[in-house]
Structure 1
Amino acid sequence: MTVIALTGAAGRLGGYLREALAKRADKVILTDRVSPEGLRANEEFRQAELDDYDAVHAALAGADVVLHFGAIADEAPWDEIWGPNFVGARNVWEAAHQHGIRRVIYASSIHAVGMYPRTQRIGVDTPHYPDSFYGLSKCFAENLGRLYWEKRGIESVMLRIYSCAQPNNERSLGVWLSPRDLVQLVEKSLDCPIVGCSVVYGVSANSRCPVSNEGAKFLGYEPVDNAEEFAPEILAAAKPDPSDKAQLHHGNVFATGDLGVSAVALMGRAEDGEG
């Protein structure tokens, strides 16, 4: 593997990954709507809107593998989310097929299964249960990736990322994905010899983790960080509200907010990495 393409390269998760990717690849193609800062010697920026197939096709030319991290990472009105999240996913997989790219690693999300109750521990084979248009876009892309695997032989790893935000509430103690573990998860997804079309949850080794990666052990992902180190401070200030329906779902406010309404705004902070 000598050339890695990264969509959504100007986003925060892309920023977490760039250094590690630059160290392992001869060339890293960075694509986004705007150029990320501080390009390294072996990084090349190619501007593209995800819903523009010709631009995506040109951006992925020469890549051996694609990390598809570009999307609207929040709930949004249907007309806004359709292009980047739905059409964009199709464009990435079709361009990968046309270029002979062998593997797509996709930043999916817990919101593909966000309507399940938090009291239910869910695994990698749990059926889709989206909590929003955003979650539905992740279900679509996961199914699209499986279709391209079955019909065209493109392998995929679907990373159902929970939250890469700094833990600051009770929920985050179970669902945190540290930047270091994100890098490891991506590297394991790159290095595993055969992945077919696989799902893995993007979570660290949290003592309170509400999901199971038992069915994805073949990837070799062994997270090292644990949000429990933040527990004393967070729990001392916590005010659990059993009547808050958002706290009863894996998808939090994505599961209880109205369709098309920003969940990030409802939370009052950016859930970096919620998808």
Structure 2
Amino acid sequence: MDALLRSRPLNTATEEEVAVETPVALTVNGVSQAVMLATPADLDDFALGFGIAEGWFASPRELLDVEPTTQPDGIELALTVTAGCEQRLRQRRRTLAGRTGCGLCGVESLAQLGAVRPAAVTAPELVDGALARALAALPAAQPLNARCGGLHGAAWCQPDGTLLLAREDIGRHNALDKLTGALARRGVDTGDGFVLMSSRASHELVHKAAMAGVGLLACMSAPSSLAIATARDLGLQLWAFVREGRATRYA
């Protein structure tokens, strides 16, 4: 399935490209685990990154295979994992029905909020002007968004602001999952750089970044109160309103 499709607005004869949003179901060794709404690109990275954020994997090597299958109603990602990983999932089963804008999808009670707690992280030392350099490089790293204008970007950057890798998705959380999955697949040391997001700073973005070992998260839009509190609790450095020549540190 393509990440973009062509659509003709009702008030014009000109076709435009539109971001695809489709249900993506994740199964682990044949057992359904989650359904998210996502853009069908970089799905191997998404599967690994989502699993890391959910605490499924003690190591990326526990994910043995990802087999995508197009279904009438969406895409199924069939994950094959090690026996140890499968046993942990049986002990902590979480049914998660996803939406692109949610923050705590599928959490059944407040007690579950802290069920998977990231380890404390350490932020890298930024070079002066690093956030501005990364921000300037982000548009070129989002080719799909340049064509349709409907996708969030998550970028991995060096402490001097050099942008090394980016992923896109219609959902900001999915974009970050794709990025952290790609980093894990490459064996990147996530303590030696930072993530720049095109979105607002939510609790779940902070949580996902910390689960991946990222110590600094920078977002173009506003933070939420829970994102700030979570970042401070985990020792994650949180920057927001990174745009138009400004950047504000909240944690």
With the shorter chain as reference, the TM-score category is under 0.3
Normalized against structure 1, the TM-score is what? 0.23
More helix by share: 1
More strand by share: 2
Normalized against structure 2, the TM-score is what? 0.25
